[in-house]
């Protein structure tokens, strides 16, 4: 009996671990609109945003955004039912720089913008990386 119980627990643990790994896989962005930010480029992006030539969009949840976000960023949660509605309010002739925690959700958002006809939506990666490259935090 103990042998069967041990086997059952082992099988259940393996299935659970596999399911967990599957739910945390990194998103592979389909479009080429991904930018590797360096200090020089972060200054250029910041100037574009300050001059109103581009948007900076944090696609994380409002709770994450409230904890810490980049200066000049607006929050449009990719997991929200109103994501499409909010994105479509942005001028498609301007660049849209997208970021999240790690770059996965912003990759999804960049791909989604393409499906809406936006050609200038760019995944610039994760918040912590962007802070180290010179983009300032608001909080």
The structural domains of the chain, ordered by start, are 33-132 (3.40.250.10)
Q: Is the pLDDT of residue 52 over 50?
A: yes
Mean pLDDT taken over the chain: 87
116 contacts 88 by C-beta, under 8 angstroms: yes
Query: For the residues 56-68, what does the mean pLDDT come to?
Result: 98
C-alpha closest to that of 114 among 87, 76, 79: 87
Alpha helix (H) residue ranges in the chain: 2-23, 39-50, 62-67, 83-87, 104-115, 127-132
Phi and psi at 96, nearest 5°, equal -125, 110
Whether the pLDDT of residue 8 is over 80: the answer is no
Kindly report, residue by residue over 90-109, the tens digit of the pLDDT: 999 999 999 999 999 999 99
pLDDT score of 4: 54
- Average pLDDT of span 102-120: 96
Write down the pLDDT at residue 24: 52
Neighbour count for residue 78 (Cβ, 10 Å): 20
* Lowest-pLDDT choice from 14-28, 32-46, 113-127: 14-28
Residues 58, 99: contact at Cβ < 8 Å? yes
Average pLDDT for 47-62: 98
**Considering only 26-40, 45-59, 66-80, which range has the smallest mean pLDDT?**
26-40
The values of phi and psi at residue 137, to 5°, are: -85, 150
Nearest Cα neighbor of 91 from 57, 45, 46 is 57
Going by C-beta distance under 8 Å and a sequence separation of 6 or more, which residues neighbour residue 116?
84, 87, 88
């Amino acid at each position: 009996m103990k042998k069967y119980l041990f086997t059952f627990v082992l099988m259940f643990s393996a299935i659970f671990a596999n399911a967990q790994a599957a739910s945390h896989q990194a998103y592979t962005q389909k479009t080429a609109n991904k930018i590797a930010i360096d200090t020089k480029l972060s200054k250029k992006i910041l100037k574009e945003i300050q001059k109103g030539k581009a948007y900076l969009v944090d696609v994380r949840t409002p709770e994450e955004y409230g904890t810490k976000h980049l200066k000049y960023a607006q929050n449009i949660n990719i997991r929200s039912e109103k994501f499409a509605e909010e994105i479509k309010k942005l001028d498609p002739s301007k660049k849209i720089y997208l970021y999240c925690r790690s770059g996965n959700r912003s990759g999804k958002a960049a791909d989604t913008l393409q499906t809406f006809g936006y050609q200038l939506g760019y995944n610039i990666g994760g918040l912590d990386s962007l802070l180290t490259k010179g983009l300032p935090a608001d909080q």
